[in-house]
């Protein structure tokens, strides 16, 4: 049985959280680190230690062949001061699914959860208690063997980093313009589109840069085979509200099974909406828009929670919503989710896990 070791010292200086937090740039004092070595029987003890640079061989497998996976979740300081994690087990289960597909060893979910809770507790003063702020949690795991052969590693490092973050939309909940691409694809059947693996994000940068140049916030990808069905946006799952249905692409193996997506589906069902997970043709969205059957579009993901969409552009076709007012359903969902996270409403689904 592995142990959790604390290499921490009482913090001498008072923690200063910057007023202007740029996403993912500020880190807390500590990390959780756990090494895997097949020659030493697998996972070693986990250590809560100072956040500092690590040393790796230039030959470390991860630099050459990209065996790296990660997760993203948040801890919130609630209005009564309680600290909670939002559905963290779902993230660790997904981490293990990504691990399996990338030939990376799986972690013991209960042990990592215990370590995560202790880590957050050690760095609890780093959690901002301003409205819309939270602590972003980034577990990451990669192959470290100093070895140039193309093969799965025998040695891995698992780290959990913590980063205090401000509201995703500092100017208020604003809708964003999205560009549909049929020039680039994100994932194909039988690939790794459903894993949070580093290479997927490296591969998305080029299309993202092109969209940025044209004034769009993100790219909406179509399926990799026929480029007919919508898949997902950058790092968000996509929802389409038609007059009589709220639909989202089904989990076919090419999109990331988002935990916000899953939560939104559960809330919508609870509210009595007709929801479906199915194939959605881009043409169906354009036709619905032209017929007055399209109500709104939004994306879901941990970082922004809900991103309302102001405009969807596909070639010469433009689907226009309001530039400055987020859609009604997206706003309602944003409030419902964040109210649960910040403890402003009852957690009736039992999603929050309390960090002592």
Please identify which residue in 175, 301, 327, 330 interacts with ligand PLP, judged by CB under 6 A.
Answer: 301
Number of residues that bind ligand PLP (CB under 6 A): 14
Binding positions for ligand PLP, 105-134, rule CB under 6 A = none
- Give me the least distance between CB of 128 and ligand PLP, in Å please: 20
Work out how close the CB of 98 gets to ligand PLP at its nearest, in angstroms, rounded to a whole number: 10
The yes or no reply on residue 258 touching ligand PLP (CB under 6 A) is: yes
Q: Is 236 in the site for ligand PLP (CB under 6 A)?
A: yes
Part of the chain binding ligand PLP (CB under 6 A), chosen from 223-231, 257-265, 289-297, 347-355: 257-265
Smaller CB distance to ligand PLP: residue 177 or 249? 249
Q: Which of residues 194-213 bind ligand PLP (CB under 6 A)?
A: 196
319 DSSP β-pair partners: 312
- DSSP helix/strand/coil, 84: strand
Nearest approach, Cβ of residue 256 and ligand PLP (Å): 3
Give yes or no for residue 237 binding ligand PLP (CB under 6 A).
yes
CB closer to ligand PLP out of 155 and 261 = 261
- Using DSSP's 3-state secondary structure scheme, residue 118 falls into helix
**Do 63 and 144 contact (CB within 8 A), yes or no?**
no
Considering only 2-10, 25-33, 78-86, 252-260, which stretch makes contact with ligand PLP by CB under 6 A? 252-260
218 versus 310: smaller Cβ distance to ligand PLP: 218
**Residues 330-339: contacts with CB under 8 Å, at least 24 apart:** 330/175, 330/296, 330/298, 330/306, 331/173, 331/306, 333/264, 333/267, 333/268, 333/298, 333/306, 334/173, 334/305, 334/306, 336/267, 337/260, 337/263, 337/264, 337/267, 337/305, 337/306, 338/132, 338/305
Residue 292, H or E segment: none
> Backbone phi, then psi, for 19, in 5-degree steps?
-65, -40
CB of 158 to ligand PLP, least distance (A): 18
Position among 98, 181, 254, 302 found at the interface with ligand PLP (CB under 6 A): 302
Q: Which residues share a beta bridge with 33?
A: 47, 159
**Comparing C-alpha atoms, which of 61, 57, 60, 36 is closest to residue 46?**
36
Residue 237 · residue 301 · CB < 8 Å = yes
Give the nearer residue to ligand PLP in terms of CB position, either 88 or 105. 88
| CB of 98 or CB of 144, closer to ligand PLP | 98
CB 49 within 8 A of CB 30: yes
Among 28, 67, 241, 260, binds ligand PLP (CB under 6 A): 260
Tell me if 66 contacts ligand PLP by CB under 6 A: no
Q: Least distance from C-beta 330 to ligand PLP, angstroms? A: 14
Using the minimum distance from each CB to ligand PLP, give the nearer residue, 289 or 298.
298
- The CB-of-270 to ligand PLP minimum distance in angstroms stands at 18
Strands 155-165, 134-143: pairing is antiparallel
Q: How far apart are CA 25 and CA 126, in angstroms?
A: 13
Residue 230 to residues 4, 107, 181, 282, Cα–Cα distance (Å): 44, 33, 10, 6
Tell the smallest beta-carbon distance from residue 287 to ligand PLP (Å). 26
Q: Is 235 in the site for ligand PLP (CB under 6 A)?
A: yes
Contacts with ligand PLP, residue ranges (CB under 6 A): 72, 196, 232, 235-237, 256, 258-261, 300-302
């Amino acid at each position: 049985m592995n142990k959790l070791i604390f290499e921490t010292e009482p913090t001498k200086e008072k923690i200063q959280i910057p007023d202007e937090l740029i996403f993912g740039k500020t880190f807390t004092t500590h990390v959780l680190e756990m090494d895997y070595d097949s020659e030493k029987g697998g996972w070693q003890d986990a250590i809560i230690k100072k956040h500092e640079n690590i040393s790796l061989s230039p030959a470390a497998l991860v630099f050459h062949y990209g065996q790296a996976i990660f997760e993203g979740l948040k801890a919130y300081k609630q209005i009564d001061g309680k600290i909670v994690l939002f559905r963290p087990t779902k993230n660790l289960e997904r981490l293990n699914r990504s691990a399996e597909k990338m030939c990376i060893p799986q972690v013991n979910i209960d042990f990592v959860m215990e370590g995560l809770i202790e880590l957050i507790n050690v760095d609890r003063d780093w959690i901002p208690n301003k409205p819309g702020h939270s602590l972003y949690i980034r577990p990451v795991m990669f192959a470290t063997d100093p070895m140039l052969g193309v093969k799965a590693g025998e040695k891995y490092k698992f780290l959990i980093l913590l980063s205090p973050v401000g509201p995703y939309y500092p100017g208020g909940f604003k809708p964003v313009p999205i560009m549909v691409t049929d020039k680039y694809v994100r994932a194909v059947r039988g690939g790794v589109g459903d894993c949070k693996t580093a290479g997927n994000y490296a591969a998305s940068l080029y299309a993202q840069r092109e969209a940025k140049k044209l004034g769009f916030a993100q790219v909406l990808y179509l399926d990799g085979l026929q480029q007919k069905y919508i898949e997902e946006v950058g790092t968000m799952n996509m929802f389409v509200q038609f007059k009589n249905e709220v639909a989202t692409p089904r989990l076919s193996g090419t999109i990331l099974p988002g935990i916000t997506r899953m939560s939104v589906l559960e809330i919508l069902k609870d509210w009595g909406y007709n929801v479906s997970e199915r194939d959605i043709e881009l043409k169906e969205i354009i036709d619905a828009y032209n017929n007055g059957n399209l109500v709104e579009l939004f994306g879901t993901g941990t970082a922004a929670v809900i991103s309302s969409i102001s405009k969807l552009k596909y070639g010469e076709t433009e689907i226009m919503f309001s530039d400055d007012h987020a859609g009604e359903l997206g706003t309602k969902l944003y409030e419902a989710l964040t109210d649960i996270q910040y403890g402003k409403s009852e957690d009736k689904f039992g999603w929050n896990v309390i960090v002592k």
